[in-house]
Amino acid sequence: MYNFSDISIVLVETQSQGNLGAVARVMKNMGLSQLVLVDCQTEIGDESFRRSCGAEKLLENANQVTGLSNALAAFHLSIGTTSRSVRWFSAVHSPSDLTKNLVSLSSNQKVAIVFGPERTGLTNDHLKYCQWQLKIPTDSQFVSLNLAHAVAIVAYELYQGSSASRSAPKKPLKLAVKSQVEAFTQDLEKCLDEIEFLSKQNPEEVMMTLRQIFSRASLEERDVRILRGILRQWRWYAKMNKKS
């Protein structure tokens, strides 16, 4: 069973004080305590505390960060919540599916569930840092959910699922943290640029596809070390060939 202290709710560019308070309240209702605010567009003010209804400490302890990439650097898994169809995600998870997928992870794996701005939701620039997509089923004629309502649905399913899931997987995954995977991805991009692979393609499209390939692979720390070792050897070999 996953540990609730390892799950963070990440809110990106939140604009409403009321939503901050309502999110904090439902998090406390469902046993979640880790709140991360990325590029928050409002302050945690009087309305936030009124709407939190007893979850003031959760708001006071919220981690405020600049930039989603920075916010997710220490997490092993990031899950983007959006109702949009995003072509590069290989699978779309529902809230009820989330528990059984999280159970496949080993203990002490940090998980971020990311929610976007009230006006736009998560953009492609946000979603490129996410490894899984989470979609809340709604009527197709009206898919937009209030931010706090969306968090409430996901938090409820996590709470229900944690009570039902008691057995640990035989071979749990121990994922590399996002910063390790991101550093490898940036190294790979430089290598691909050096051999002029990216110049012949749409570089952003290619790198987005590669990011999702790595996400589907659920890279562990040892995997990343090996891949980075390959890149070091690649650069050494290219350097030696230039000399000769």
Tell which wins on pLDDT, 154 or 104: 154
What pTM does this model have?
0.76
Topology given in CATH for the domain delimited by 4-164: Alpha/beta knot (3.40.1280)
Spatial contact of 51 and 22, defined as CB atoms under 8 Å apart: yes
Q: In whole numbers, what is the pLDDT of the chain averaged over residues?
A: 87
CATH 3.40.1280.10 residue ranges in the chain? 4-164
The CA distance from 95 to 135, in Å, is 7
Which tens digit of pLDDT belongs to each residue from 63-95? 999 999 999 999 999 999 998 888 778 778 999
Query: What are residue 198's phi and psi, to 5 degrees?
Result: -70, -30
Domain limits, CATH 1.10.8, in the chain = 178-243
Identify the pLDDT of residue 74: 92
Cβ proximity of 67 and 39 under 8 Å: yes
Give tens-digit pLDDT for 17-60: 999 999 999 999 999 999 999 999 999 999 999 999 999 999 99
When pLDDT is cut at 50, 70 and 90, the band that residue 5 belongs to is confident
DSSP secondary structure code for residue 202 in this structure: -
pLDDT value of position 205: 79
Q: What is the CATH number of domain 178-243?
A: 1.10.8
